[in-house]
Amino acid sequence: MEKSVKLGLVGRNISYSFSKKYFEQKFQKLFLKDHSYEVFDIENLQNIPAIFQTENLVGLNVTIPYKEQIIPYLDELSEEAQEIGAINCISIKNGKTKGFNTDAFGFEKTLLLHKKPHQKSAIVLGNGGAAKAVQFVLKKNNIPFITVSRTTEINYQNLTENQVLENLIIIQCTPVGTFPNVEETLHFPFENITENHLVIDLIYNPTLSKFLKNAAEKGAKTINGYFMLEQQAEKAWEIWNEEQ
């Protein structure tokens, strides 16, 4: 009999998790009766070494707010994860943990699918783990960008109309507006968004965030985070299976 294979997700307040459902459906489709997926919804990372010791655990997804905080607990990082400084996927092999960033893979697929030639530069909203993967992809594709967050030089209060008009790709990387707080949105000059803009919100629940609704009203092309999520999940699946 094959040994059972456990996978899981580490995060906080993640009862709405996409990953559990996604991978459980995958196990069914592939007739993998010996695979299971567990959600580790934890208040802090104190117990993470114990979680790594879970019997038959071969891989984990990592989500908000631990994509950066979890790095010191890992034995090794992929080159990309090291450069990005955030991880969302861990493989566990022979008792060793290795961190990867499959968000970058998922975001790049999304961006290149929808970006038009006139959309040459970007505004990244947020500066956390997800934003770091986005910034990495923009650099890789030679797309200049400005980062806007509460703590950066350009923040939500001093972002100018011209900056919005000049940068035709806008990527919302914060959790603001995620279910159940669907009426929330960032303070942003939506009146300067035009039909020339591509607006990507990494949120997937709700399907259409308040941020995307506001942008769509101005005629922008809007994309949510669902395709990126599927792509990063597939990449994680590949890593877990390669690494075994």
Tell me the catalytic residues: 67
| Structure tokens, 215 | 């942008």
Between CA 208 and CA 214, with CA 212 as vertex, the angle to 5 degrees is: 120
Q: How far is CA 230 from the centre of its chain?
A: 11
Q: 103-114 and 226-243 are packed helices; what angle lies between their axes, rounded to 10 degrees?
A: 140
**Which helix (H) or strand (E) covers residue 195, if one does?**
none
- Nearest residue to 188 (alpha-carbon basis) of 126, 131, 139: 126
Residue 105: other Cβ atoms inside 10 A: 22
| Structure tokens, 48 | 């993470």
Distances (CA, A) of 164 to 148, 170, 232: 11, 8, 29
- Nearest residue to 86 (alpha-carbon basis) of 97, 95, 78: 78
Residue 240: other Cβ atoms inside 10 A: 22
Place of tokens 């709700």: 206
